[in-house]
Structure 1
């Protein structure tokens, strides 16, 4: 049985269809003091696959409740994290700070037999879990919504993410890759961001990233690319968080199209990772 978190209902339904598994209907009861309680009337069986992106504090608590009820009603529990909140807080940056990713991982390990994550920002967070932790790679699916492009340039936000751009480029079947390099002016202190070794002028550019959160870095990169007289600029990302006015920033910067996956369900979530997850199971 597939148990969906409220932030992952479409993905959970798609995975249930892929696996030909029943999809649970999760009921939620809210109380006057702000607490809530979940109920799955038909819970029970051999295997529960919980699909829950933890995009908020409430989503984290909801997942803990789903795990607890599944632990009691099913023989085996697998937790799928399409997007894991706090995964970028994988170390303490100043004295007196927690390692938030570790705290979350320990909590999520208590009532599950296995955790499956879709392209976590730092795969090393798997070491924080007390149960087996597997990563599935949905990056090739980012090539699917792209239109027909002639020799596009796939750009990663930095050198560490060049592998992501290469994966999408290979899946698309055409083009080349590069990454952005930051240069600071000694005279003014201004920072420019440009491809490290490729001349982008006249070319169509596809910006590839794992997460777009505020959109500030991405929109600045789009603006600087247009100053270099590139053709159209597209954005594709695994986890389209698009907090606050991020989508408006991209539009104002002159993006020609934006696509993400349904690891976080947003209007731009044009690509489902359900087939990738189904292959895992």
Structure 2
């Protein structure tokens, strides 16, 4: 029997992109909401004995994870052979250490929940900082799909004379990879953050910007303050209006409007989080990764 691909609420559009890349059967997963706010998943017929692949949009995860957790559990209860998860954006990776007394490493606790309900998981560029790989906290098979090839292809096709700019030291290796794939130079700025929305960024070398369009690339765009600070430095250094490229378009509060006001040539993101700025499709890479992990199960 063919595997079955099912979307959680909010992930239908991305699931449709995956379905175009996979020879899976698709179905409709209904999440019934009771008046008191509880959820009850209802699967289409013929789940027993089949491999089920759930697709979940996990930005703003606290409102979405319970539906995923229950859906994975009900799929097993109905006799699913395996339950896989495609989570284009993987949350709860930021709190990878104890930063203040009384806190915990919530990344570990979230990983335990996902590992307890799914058999394998694929995602795009999780925020790996103090953890070097997902294997350090997840006990299920995982595969990380890099966004760099898709981003580089977009830059090469859409930006004339680009120079890829990383907003901070953490982005160095990643930015160098994007630039190499796009066939252009790169540079990395340094950042000092003094609060959630207070960021200072170093000035770039003016000679590197001469005649080139700076492309600011970052993984998670949440408050956008890092990109805004970097944009100011680039424009003060005499560069052209930068193009902004982000992987995960979280855009908290007024972040998108603030970034638009910073004067970019264009704001572009991958479709890991549904947003008006989505222009780079990472679904083919996730589809291939999910197929590999399922095949490895035998």
Given the two structures, how large is their TM-score scaled by the length of structure 2?
A: 0.85
CA contact (8 A) 2:7 2:55 kept: yes
Matches within 5 A, 1:105-184: 105-122=111-128, 123-146=132-155, 148-172=158-182, 174-182=183-191
1:258 shift after superposition: 1.1
Moved more, 2-11 or 267-276: 2-11
Figure out how many residues of one structure are paired with residues of the other and give that number: 275
1:114 shift after superposition: 1.3
Structural RMSD (CA): 2.2
Corresponding position: 1:6 with 2:9 = yes
> Tell me, which stretches of 5 or more residues in structure 1 are unaligned?
185-189
1:253 shift after superposition: 0.4
1:231 pairs with one of 202, 225, 240: 240
1:82 shift after superposition: 0.9
> After superposition, what is the alpha-carbon deviation per residue over 1:122-179, rounded to whole angstroms, capped at 9, x for unaligned?
153431112222212122111343354343110112222122212222332x320111
Match of 1:187 in 2: none
> Tell me, which stretches of 5 or more residues in structure 2 are unaligned?
194-198, 292-298
1:217 pairs with one of 226, 234, 244: 226
Query: In the aligned structure 2, how far is the partner of 1:197 from the partner of 1:225?
Result: 8
Given the two structures, how large is their TM-score scaled by the length of structure 1?
A: 0.90
Runs of 4+ in 1 over 4 A off after TM superposition: none
1:209 shift after superposition: 0.8
1:100 shift after superposition: 0.9
Match of 2:33 in 1: 30
Query: In the aligned structure 2, how far is the partner of 1:169 from the partner of 1:225?
Result: 18
Change (3 A) 1:244 1:91: same
Change (3 A) 1:148 1:58: closer
> After superposition, what is the alpha-carbon deviation per residue over 1:195-248, rounded to whole angstroms, capped at 9, x for unaligned?
379643543100011110111111121122111111131011111111111111
Query: In the aligned structure 2, how far is the partner of 1:197 from the partner of 1:95?
Result: 43
